[in-house]
Structure 1
Amino acid sequence: MSKIGFIGLGIMGRPMAGHLLDAGHQIVSVEHGKPIPQELADKGATVAANPKAVAEQAEVIITMVPDTPDVELVLFGEGGVIEGLKPGTLVIDMSSIAPIATQDFAKRIHDAGGEYVDAPVSGGEGGAINAALTIMVGATAEGFERALPILEVMGKTITHIGDHGAGQTCKVANQIVVALTIEAVAEGLLFASKAGADVAKVRESLLGGLAQSKILDVHGERMIKRTFDPGFKIKLHQKDLNLALEGARSLKLSLPGTANAQQLFQACAAHGGDDWDHAGILRALEQLADHEIGS
């Protein structure tokens, strides 16, 4: 069992750290202005003053924070991980951040004597709670081999995509597909509702055909029940689509569907929906249609 520094105990990180504790690992974290969750403290998780102090105690560091600047601050800012990094420490970033920055972070950790793995996840809060995350890994072969037993505690589908940054590239692709599929589900249910059909029965029927998807199942139900408390916040999906669109510009690639989904998320944000679940994209479409599904 390992002593793991886990930095980022939010919606996703909290259950992920809980699974590691249940598996017998030790967890040390930082407070980020508020105490660590009581359920983790009850299982033995401890607190260090800053990421440097976490690194001084841990054999493995996991970061699960919102964006690229957050990872950079935790790893390389004042009192950051790199100041306390011991030779051979495994650093696993499970955040969703920019692939090019990830390659730079990996080099800096390697130059300081550590091993870096980018391992972003998909599956949302439910996947984190059920230890059923899909984990996309960018690493050396040695880094992947070292990280795999830890990742297996938190996820079910774990794929070594390639070298550093490849995991993050895969996650950006995932977020493109997820955003466009959520939009497609919202448009389909909105069309059915506006035409006078029972949207619950429409969804039930579609789940038995070629349109079946986990998003139709999970987010379609959210839309019908209008439960937009976040499993994954719109503002975080906006961040991921920004990464996609910035990458597309550098690749001279057109992603028109992605750009359209980003504009719909922006419409939600303009109406105070930054913290809605990303299924809330439906609300932007409803405003355009002057119709609420089920009404």
Structure 2
Amino acid sequence: MKVGFIGLGLMGLPMAENLRKAGHTLYLHSRSGVPAAVQGDGMIACENPAEVASKAEVVITMVPDTPDVEKVLFGEKGVAGGLSDGKLVIDMSSISPVATKAFAKRIEELGCGYIDAPVSGGDIGAKAATLTIMVGATETDFERAKPLFEAIGKTITLVGGVGSGQTCKVANQIIVALNIQAVAEALTFASKAGADPVRVRQALLGGFASSRVLEVHAERMINRTFKPGFRVGLHMKDLEVALSNARALGVALPSTAVAQQMFNSCVANGDIDADDSILCTAIERLSGHEIAKGS
């Protein structure tokens, strides 16, 4: 297919590269510019989102937040300005489910399809093309987009109609945040009690407490490697979507609110751009103890 891809950040760039490896032609745009190293061989830079949309059959957006998606779609020289009947827009950002439904309605009024398909798996999954993709779409649009999803993801689920993908992603981010906090608390407890957190993690990976967070984030906590796979600021944004939607729905999310405050503590210490595993430092500060190998 001729695929437009807008947003070439930590996740977007490897996703676009995997689509090219699958044989698709890519029309690219990013607010920070398209890296010269990826241009050529079916990777074509465009001046603006409207140009991307005019040249592609399917346009994918992968940008940080709800206002960013709105600007890319409907701002000056936005995607909407380059669309024509029958094209398909796929937003793979993690944004508000309510806004997603409004965006979809505006795109559908232009005679085009709209899919929300946020992802989970971080930069590791993006590079390995093993992302989990949560899709909100009609059956017809889903089948049309499926070959693209298969080039970048491993677990692909049509959750329901438009907006359902974003709702599922919010649920995902709640679970991940609480799991990060749980792992941070467990390792801090074990370390201060005198156990080696390396061996504690190894033991727990073989039991019911095992999780992807325990596998990946616990190792980062122990080794103090907080180079971002998924930034604190982005996870905070997702939790704010969860909490604001929970207020509207009358749903109680007490543990999610606590996790958000732990991330706030990290931001206050200058770590907004660090990996979200750095939440452990908020627990460590409260405990007066840093997780350490060989405790």
Give the structure-1-normalised TM-score.
0.98
Displacement of 1:38: 3.7
TM superposition shift of 1:86 = 1.3
Who is 2:289 aligned against? 291
Instruction: Tell me the distance in 2 between the aligned counterparts of 1:265 and 1:246.
Output: 17
Deviations 1:216-240 (A, max 9, x none): 0100101110100000000000000
Measure the CA separation in 2 of the matches of 1:33 and 1:159.
31
Q: Which runs of 5+ in 1 are unaligned?
A: none
Q: Could you say what secondary structure the match of 1:197 adopts?
A: coil
In 1, the alpha carbon distance for the partners of 2:67 and 2:247 equals: 20
Matching residue within 257, 260, 281 for 1:259: 257
- Post-superposition Cα deviations, 1:119-145, rounded to whole Å, max 9, x if no partner, equal 000000000000000000000111111
Match of 2:187 in 1: 189
Q: Which amino acid aligns with 1:70?
A: D
Partner of 1:208: 206
1:22 alignment partner AA: K
Q: Which aligned pairs between 1:35-54 and structure 2 lie closer than 5 A?
A: 36-54=34-52
Matched ranges for 1:58-73 at <5 A: 58-73=56-71
The corresponding residue for 1:279 is 277
Q: Which runs of 5+ in 2 are unaligned?
A: none
Partner amino acid, structure 1, of 2:3: I
User: Displacement of 1:290 after TM fit?
Assistant: 1.2
In structure 2, distance between residues paired with 1:186 and 1:206: 13
Deviation at 1:42, TM superposition (A): 4.5
Do 1:14 and 1:37's aligned partners in 2 also have CA atoms closer than 8 Å?
no
User: Could you list the per-position Cα deviations for residues 52-108 of structure 1 after superposition, in whole angstroms to 9, with x for gaps in the alignment?
Assistant: 111111101000000000000000011101011011111000000000100011111
Question: What does residue 108 of structure 1 align with?
Answer: 106
Number of positions where the alignment pairs a residue of Structure 1 with one of Structure 2: 293
Q: Which moved more, 1:42-51 or 1:172-181?
A: 42-51
Whether contact under 8 Å (2:24, 2:42) holds in the other structure is: no
Deviation at 1:39, TM superposition (A): 3.9
In the TM superposition, 1:1-295 aligns within 5 A as: 2-34=1-33, 36-294=34-292
Q: Check 1:50–1:225 CA distance in 2 against 1; reply closer, same or farther (3 A cut).
A: same
SS in 1 for 2:59: strand
Q: Give the counterpart letter for 1:6 in structure 2.
A: F
- Whether the 8 Å contact between 1:65 and 1:71 is mirrored in structure 2 is yes
Give percent identity, aligned residues only: 59
Tell me by how many angstroms 1:40 deviates.
2.1
